[in-house]
Amino acid sequence: MRKKRVYLDYAAATPLDRRVAKSMRPFESEKFANPASVHNEGIVARRVVAQARTEVARLLNVRSEEIIFTGGGTEADNLAITGIVEKAREKGIAAPHIITTNIEHPAILETCRRVTKWGGSVTFVPVQASGLVDPKHIAAALKPETVLVSVQLVNSEIGIIQPLRAIATVIAEYKATHGDTLSAFSELGYPYFHTDASQAPNYLDISFQKYGVDLMTLDGVKIYGPKGIGVLAIKRQVAIAPIIVGGGQERGMRAGTENVPAIVGFAAALTRTVQLREKETERLRGLQKYFIQNLKENFPRNVSIINDDCQKSVPNNVTICVRNGQEAELLVVRLDALGIACSAGSACTNLSTATYSYVIEALETASLSVLNDCKSSSIRFSFGRGTTRRDLDLTLIALRSIIK
Amino acid sequence: MRKKRVYLDYAAATPLDRRVAKSMRPFESEKFANPASVHNEGIVARRVVAQARTEVARLLNVRSEEIIFTGGGTEADNLAITGIVEKAREKGIAAPHIITTNIEHPAILETCRRVTKWGGSVTFVPVQASGLVDPKHIAAALKPETVLVSVQLVNSEIGIIQPLRAIATVIAEYKATHGDTLSAFSELGYPYFHTDASQAPNYLDISFQKYGVDLMTLDGVKIYGPKGIGVLAIKRQVAIAPIIVGGGQERGMRAGTENVPAIVGFAAALTRTVQLREKETERLRGLQKYFIQNLKENFPRNVSIINDDCQKSVPNNVTICVRNGQEAELLVVRLDALGIACSAGSACTNLSTATYSYVIEALETASLSVLNDCKSSSIRFSFGRGTTRRDLDLTLIALRSIIK
């Protein structure tokens, strides 16, 4: 008999919820028309897209015309950053400035770096040893050319929850005190505040008002929804240019035939995960505590918990540093051989670089620790709807056989 | 009992083939992992993406690393044009020049227009009265700064098949004769030749060698595949920059978690439509002739066939001009009320502008006709796998009740 595998990589990808899948089916082979078509079949498609848009907007507490469906979270991040910078340059700001942190997702970091090729500039604010960004450091980086501040709500690697509300406050204070000395472009409302909230909806409220943001990225693949679909919610006062043109879809902000089944699925997935949020948060918080406690008892010396303070992170993430001289990549491979699927860093960095984690490195740099050995030996365990206490017990057994 | 509707808008959207849908299912809720993950689940996902890539590459007769999966045909067109222009500017070409025709899809036309905002320039070569572009006109437009020629293989509105091979020849001749007088950038191989072949695979060979192209766009939604997935095939000598960055997927050319089920579905759909191609082409050619003949017999005076010469267009497209003073939009709505789903122009232009067709307008301008009345009174009927002779008979009956 084939042994059951333990999947603890829900932060990288979630399975499509079967109820969500069912909601998508009618729009694949039957009601398949192009929502841009004039005929009845097109009207049906247009209507379900409008319904899905309204549903998503309600959950974010924005207007439905403020929801832009994209091909995924990465595209949404690209649209937010490139789109705002492009528009700012059109408006005559030759060197737009962006503020972000040094532990953002690669979709943010690389897009920001690219902006510097186009005459823009970026401040990568270092986070503290806890992984949290200090709003005072954001405040210190603000300047008249700043068009955008982008801070991820929940970090992809370590699950830490950033103080978005406090950051929104320092941005608002800057606008209030510098309004008259700001550039001629202050009537455009710069700087805007964007958050990549892809890792958040399963566990946190995602209403715009709670965080005071102007733009928010969401991703279907993280919320038990379909792949290839994301959202960029954009408050209507935000001046932004599209990155994909030709066809006028999504109010001209994202051209291309609407992916009707995926849009329907995204709305269904977001609705369902919001319904399950409280119960799942409580359940996973229990598993998180259980796992951390057992890790501490089992490995008092050679394992440390990166996100030890549960209150500062989402309940589905336990990231550990293994101090036995083995590289994270090897640890993940050995755990995999024992039936445990977990991750070294976030999946999106595996392909490009990483035998080490730039996120953990940022934490170590901030901590002034002399050890600095966790950046290449940290493992992320991320839980989800399928995770049970038994999964964690099996993981602890596997870890015991690897970590002497 | 609800009357069966007649859907004659397959050029706007095709239903997802049920066998294709079945091939996608395992990768939705079961084998759902992120292909960038190191663990076994990730390896499985990576392997099926690689298999799909090889399958698509084989059908295009290119290498598998020359296949880039995108979020759809529009994104692929944007990547081709913006990506080549962006890279050319990085290489020091301050004002890259593009050649295209005046009847391309909006994804090409709008992307080209945007290039002019960035210091580039575009020649929109007018087509002839037949809808065909004259390769000599392309040749005449070529100049040392030309980095790209983009001509759609099959026009979205009127189904006309452009002489790509002859265009490739004039480009090759230009390179051969002007090689030493071309700019310092001629070692990059400019100008490249791109085709949007989205409307082609159901009826035409799509191998690169047949047409002599360097880049080709394909779209899942036109080949009975999933929505939200497209391909840009790029010969490896082509210098191109990504438009979506962050994560390194698709050889750095298109960031974002791979949409595994859609990628699998795209490959399955392309394989299947190539298998069915010959039989379907013959079947639809028969229906096309039948429909045209009956239109001529029924409406000798007030209907003319835009794409009368079947040999010059794909077999699933009959576009007519109705000369009874009614606007196309109204005709489509009236046919819709009688159970016939068809289109005025292509779906992608409906949202933005059109009570008239810029494609038909281009044909009328070229014909020097004094009438010039078809651009606002043309209707496209596009057939597909579900189309029967009975569908066309019902359409003829409906047309008779509308056109006096």
Task: Give the model confidence (pLDDT) of A167-217 as tens digits.
Answer: 999 999 999 988 766 555 667 899 999 999 999 999 999 999 999 999 999
CB contact under 8 A, A246 and B105: yes
pLDDT at position A190 is 94
Same domain for B190 and B255? yes
Residue ending a domain, choose from A249, A271, A293: A271
Look at chain B and report how many structural domains it folds into: 2
pLDDT at position B348 is 57
Q: Is A75 on the interface with B (CB under 8 A)?
A: yes
Residue of A nearest to B265 (CA): A28
Q: Is B272 on the interface with A (CB under 8 A)?
A: no
Q: How far apart are CA A397 and CA A137, in angstroms?
A: 42
Same domain for B198 and B109? yes
Considering CB atoms only, which of A246, A261, A335 is closest to B74? Answer: A246
Considering CB atoms only, which of B38, B114, B336 is closest to A40? Answer: B336
Considering CB atoms only, which of B16, B248, B259 is closest to A227? Answer: B259
Q: Is A282 on the interface with B (CB under 8 A)?
A: no
Residue A43 maps to a domain: yes
Q: Give the residues of chain A that fall short of pLDDT 50.
A: 1, 351-353
Q: Is B14 on the interface with A (CB under 8 A)?
A: yes
CATH number for the domain spanning A172: value is 3.40.640.10
ipTM: 0.95
Considering CB atoms only, which of B41, B219, B262 is closest to A228? Answer: B262
Residue ending a domain, choose from A247, A271, A295: A271
Q: How near does any CA of chain A get to the CA of B329, in Å? A: 8
Same domain for B96 and B217? yes
- In SS3 terms, chain A reads as CCCCCEECECCCCCCCCHHHHHHHHHHCCCCCCCCCCCCHHHHHHHHHHHHHHHHHHHHHCCCHHHEEEECCHHHHHHHHHHHHHHHHHHCCCCCCEEEEECCCCHHHHHHHHHHHHCCCEEEEECCCCCCCCCHHHHHHHCCCCEEEEECCCECCCCCEECCHHHHHHHHHHHHHHHCCCCCCCHHHCCCEEEEECCCCCCCCCCCHHHHCCCEEEEEHHHCCCCCCCEEEEECCCCCCCCCCCCCCCHHHCCCCCCCHHHHHHHHHHHHHHHHHHHHHHHHHHHHHHHHHHHHHHHCCCCEEECCCCHHHECCCEEEEEECCCCCHHHHHHHHHHCCEECECCCHHHHCCCCCCCHHHHHHHHHHCCCCCCCCCCEEEEECCCCCCHHHHHHHHHHHHHHCC
Residues 94-113 of A with CB under 8 A from B: 105-111
Q: How far apart are CA A170 and CA A151, in angstroms?
A: 13
Angle at which helix A389-402 crosses helix A260-298, to 10 degrees, equals 50
Considering CB atoms only, which of B34, B341, B350 is closest to A13? Answer: B34
DSSP B376: T
Using CA atoms, how far residue B203 sits from B54, B299, B317, in Å, is 21, 29, 11
Q: How far apart are CA A173 and CA A384, in angstroms?
A: 38
Same domain for A253 and A158? yes
CB contact under 8 A, A36 and B229: no
Tokens of B284: 């639809």
Please tell me the total number of residues recorded for chain A in this structure.
404
Say if residues A323 and A302 touch (Cβ distance below 8 Å): yes
Query: Is 70 exceeded by the pLDDT of residue B105?
Result: yes
pLDDT at position A188 is 84
Provide DSSP, B339-374. TEE-BSS-HHHHTTT-SS-HHHHHHHHHHT-S---S
Cβ-proximal residues to A186 (8 Å cutoff; 6+ apart), any chain: A175, A179
B181 band by pLDDT with thresholds 50, 70 and 90: low
For all residues of chain B together, what is the average pLDDT? 93
Task: Give the model confidence (pLDDT) of B78-100 as tens digits.
Answer: 999 999 999 999 999 999 999 99
Does residue B110 sit in helix, strand or coil?
helix
Q: How near does any CA of chain A get to the CA of B91, in Å? A: 13
For residue B290, the surrounding DSSP H or E stretch is: helix B260-298
Residue B1 maps to a domain: no
Q: Is B393 on the interface with A (CB under 8 A)?
A: no
Q: Is A341 on the interface with B (CB under 8 A)?
A: yes
Residue B207 maps to a domain: yes
φ, ψ of residue A359 to 5 degrees: the values are: -70, -50
Same domain for A226 and A125? yes
Q: Is A198 on the interface with B (CB under 8 A)?
A: no
Dmax over CA atoms of chain A, in Å, equals: 72
In 3D space, the residue among B190, B177, B170, B5 whose CA is nearest the CA of residue B87 turns out to be B190
Residue A208 maps to a domain: yes
pLDDT at position A351 is 47
Considering CB atoms only, which of B28, B78, B347 is closest to A34? Answer: B347
Say if residues B275 and B223 touch (Cβ distance below 8 Å): no
Same domain for B219 and B300? no
Q: Is B116 on the interface with A (CB under 8 A)?
A: no
Residue A322 maps to a domain: yes
Mean pLDDT of B100-113: 97
CB contact under 8 A, B344 and A38: yes
Q: Please list the residues that pair with B381 across neighbouring strands.
A: B318
Considering CB atoms only, which of A257, A348, A352 is closest to B13? Answer: A257
DSSP B154: B
Query: Is 70 exceeded by the pLDDT of residue B349?
Result: no
Same domain for A283 and A260? no
CB contact under 8 A, B246 and A351: no
Asked if the peptide bond before residue A300 counts as cis, ω within 30 degrees of 0, the response is: no
> How many A×B Cβ pairs under 8 Å?
269
Query: Is 70 exceeded by the pLDDT of residue B114?
Result: yes
Q: Please list the residues that pair with B150 across neighbouring strands.
A: B100, B194
Chain A residues whose CB is inside 8 A of the B40 CB are 5, 336, 341
Residues 150-169 of B with CB under 8 A from A: none
Same domain for B168 and B312? no
pLDDT at position A333 is 94
Rg (CA), chain A: 22
pLDDT at position A147 is 96
CB contact under 8 A, A106 and B248: yes
Single-letter residue type at B269 = A
Residue of B nearest to A333 (CA): B39
Q: Is A278 on the interface with B (CB under 8 A)?
A: no
CB contact under 8 A, B13 and A34: yes
Q: How near does any CA of chain B get to the CA of A83, in Å? A: 11
CB contact under 8 A, B105 and A39: no
Say if residues B11 and B382 touch (Cβ distance below 8 Å): yes
Q: Is A26 on the interface with B (CB under 8 A)?
A: no
CB contact under 8 A, B243 and A245: no
Neighbours of B332 (CB within 10 A): 24
Q: Is B29 on the interface with A (CB under 8 A)?
A: yes
Query: Is 90 exceeded by the pLDDT of residue B118?
Result: no
Pairing label, strands B340-341, B6-7: parallel
Same domain for A309 and A206? no
Residues 342-371 of A with CB under 8 A from B: 342-344, 347-352
Angle at which helix A260-298 crosses helix A40-60, to 10 degrees, equals 30
Same domain for A196 and A307? no
Say if residues A143 and A93 touch (Cβ distance below 8 Å): no
**Which residue among the candidates B112, B310, B348, B374 is catalytic per the annotation?**
B348
B112 belongs to the catalytic site: no
Single-letter residue type at A93 = I
Q: How far apart are CA A370 and CA A365, in angstroms?
A: 9
Considering CB atoms only, which of A33, A229, A246 is closest to B77? Answer: A246
Range(s) of the domain holding residue B122: 18-271
CB contact under 8 A, A7 and B259: no
Q: Is A321 on the interface with B (CB under 8 A)?
A: no
Q: Is B257 on the interface with A (CB under 8 A)?
A: yes
CB contact under 8 A, B107 and A245: yes
Same domain for A345 and A209? no
Residue ending a domain, choose from A224, A252, A271: A271
Asked if the peptide bond before residue B35 counts as cis, ω within 30 degrees of 0, the response is: no
Residue B255 maps to a domain: yes
Provide DSSP, B188-238. GTPSEEEEE-TT-TTTS---HHHHT-SEEEEEGGGTT--SS-EEEEE-TT-
pLDDT at position B357 is 87
Say if residues A344 and A378 touch (Cβ distance below 8 Å): yes
Residue B194 maps to a domain: yes
Q: Is A83 on the interface with B (CB under 8 A)?
A: no
pLDDT at position B182 is 58
Q: Label residues A30-65 b or e (16+ Cβ within 10 Å = b).
A: ebbbbbbbbbbbbebbbebbeebbebbbbbbebeee
Residues 133-152 of B with CB under 8 A from A: none
Same domain for B231 and B281? no
Say if residues B236 and B65 touch (Cβ distance below 8 Å): yes
Residue A260 maps to a domain: yes
CATH number for the domain spanning A396: value is 3.90.1150.10
